[in-house]
Structure 1
Amino acid sequence: MTERDLDELGPVDFLVIEFPEGQANFTGEIAAELVNLVEAGTIRVIDAMVLTKEDDGSVDAMELSDAGDLGDLVEIEAQLAELLAADDVTNLANAMEPGSVAGVLVYENLWAGPFAAATRRAGGQLIANGRIPVQAIIASIEADEALETTGA
């Protein structure tokens, strides 16, 4: 990346999405949606890999390029920086259940790049961030609805 690219860098996030043993149903929909996000300029994929955790706890990490037929992901794979190190893989795999498979995605939020750059130029720096799981939002909405229904 050039110095200008770094100056304009948007926030970088990572996701680890686990598919419990026997519950993976890969149809290509995930890859298609990821390609849509990239093509729309919403995100730039920096790194992606697949982790497999065996029942004995051992972990196999596979770069996206080694995952077989990539279909529409082939263009994204060609641009990956392979940012994740062996220690990162170990730490991420600690969250996985034995027998599961997980996808790891490191991406830049391109949509937020101009805002992040303006914030840095103004002397600001990110000191905290987080994400509210969808399940927590659904539970909160359902609890509110239940209160409205019961009148309590």
Structure 2
Amino acid sequence: MTELDAGPIDYLAIEIPTQKMNGEGLAALVDLTDRGIIRILDAVVALVDEDGSFTAVELTDVDGDGELDLVVFEGVRSGLLDDDDIAEAAGLIEPGNAVALIVYENTWAEPFVTAMRKNGAEFIASGRIPAETVNEALSALNS
């Protein structure tokens, strides 16, 4: 991945009640990756104990036994996500739950980014509108 052909990079921090983890979200993530819509750059899950301490496991080792479970995420480590990020996210969730941290590239945008840059365009800002804000705006339109 070079600067010229990289799509936008995003991250997600997702609090997951450990008793409700069923693999459905993970299957959707693998599907997005397999279809080339996103490229996972970092993927870590931190399990937060009742005392607030946490154990981080790579997304490749889903059950925490030290063995590779998801080959599709093997070697996923960009350096964009560090131990401080994991600790900060673990501190935001309820004890007994898990937090998944995912840094990903929106690979669907690569051709657009490349074409625009080849013609002299510079990307000067990027952002994300929170889903709650979008839902409120759409609700207001439908009222």
Would you call these one fold, judging by a TM-score over 0.5?
Answer: yes
- Alpha-carbon spacing, 1:94–1:131, altered in 2? closer, same or farther (3 Å): farther
Q: CA deviation at 1:17?
A: 0.9
Aligned to 1:78: 74
1:58 lines up with 2:56 in the alignment: no
1:49 lines up with 2:44 in the alignment: yes
- Corresponding letter in the other structure for 2:76: L
**Over residues 70-113 of structure 1, what are the superposed CA-to-partner deviations in whole Å (9 max), with x where a residue is unaligned?**
xxx72322241253211221232233233321111111111011
Q: CA deviation at 1:123?
A: 4.5
1:141 lines up with 2:138 in the alignment: yes
Higher relative helix content: 1
Q: CA deviation at 1:126?
A: 3.6
Q: CA deviation at 1:9?
A: 1.2
- Alpha-carbon spacing, 1:124–1:94, altered in 2? closer, same or farther (3 Å): farther
Aligned to 1:149: none
Aligned length: 136
Say whether the 8 Å CA contact 1:46–1:82 is kept in structure 2. yes
What does 1:1-152 align with in structure 2 at a 5 Å threshold?
5-6=1-2, 7-20=4-17, 24-68=19-63, 74-83=70-79, 84-121=81-118, 122-133=120-131, 135-146=132-143
- Corresponding letter in the other structure for 2:41: I
Q: CA deviation at 1:13?
A: 0.8
Q: TM-score, normalised by structure 1?
A: 0.73
Structure-1 separation of matches of 2:133 and 2:28: 23
For structure 2, list consecutive stretches of 5 or more residues without a partner in the other structure: none
Q: CA deviation at 1:15?
A: 0.6
Structure-2 separation of matches of 1:78 and 1:136: 35
Structure-2 separation of matches of 1:107 and 1:145: 33
Q: TM-score, normalised by structure 2?
A: 0.77
Q: What is the root-mean-square deviation in Å for CA atoms of aligned residues?
A: 2.5
- Alpha-carbon spacing, 1:26–1:60, altered in 2? closer, same or farther (3 Å): same
Q: CA deviation at 1:36?
A: 1.4
Say whether the 8 Å CA contact 1:8–1:113 is kept in structure 2. yes
State the identity as a percent: 32
- Corresponding letter in the other structure for 1:57: G
